[in-house]
Structure 1
């Protein structure tokens, strides 16, 4: 599934591998909104720059989809960000799909637990 491929790029060791995985997962005019980014990220190149920053700041860290559900061209995924075998953060992502490609991915920190 494309959401697994997209997040596997976060732990890929080289820019070429990150690009190949990203290209396999996203559609045209890709949009990505992350709670840790100051603004939404528009397009493939900006997204690759963003995950390169993640790799530089947290060498060896990975992102792994641990749960996913899908209906009517939308999906929800739970993603763990892991470094040295320890979960650093868990997030929830919502996405729009077309032709098995991600068009829009919107992330939130945590699982939306009530305060």
Structure 2
């Protein structure tokens, strides 16, 4: 059920637009809503998401990106994602809605892990 989430974030590190876009297409459902702290407005088409990820890949070529922990409840997933490695890693959390096939239909990201009170 979480393969699409792992595949989606692994695509961010792929410098080849053809294979990157194919991986993103395979991970998304027929509808998509994507938002994170760097998007000005939600992205609602696969082409918009692919363009956004492509811009990241151009600005940070070769930067490793991976979902390092994924937990699920019903058709929802929470992913902890590392952008970069070592001392320069940035961590984010994403909440995904998944369709019945396990594909991402909604993905909302947040910087960091949140601070407990």
Shorter-normalised TM range: over 0.9
Structure 1: gaps of 5 or more residues: none
Aligned residues: 114
Task: Name whichever structure is richer in strand by fraction.
Answer: 1
Structure 2: gaps of 5 or more residues: none
SS at match of 1:2: helix
Deviation at 1:87, TM superposition (A): 3.9
Counterpart of 2:58? 56
Query: Which TM-score applies when normalising by structure 1?
Result: 0.92
SS at match of 2:62: coil
Aligned CA RMSD, in angstroms, stands at 1.4
Q: Does 1:76 align with 2:82?
A: no
SS at match of 1:11: coil
Does the 8 Å CA contact 1:80/1:87 hold for their aligned counterparts? no
Matches of 1:49 and 1:65, distance apart in 2? 20
SS at match of 2:50: helix
Alignment of 1:1-12 (within 5 A): 1-12=3-14
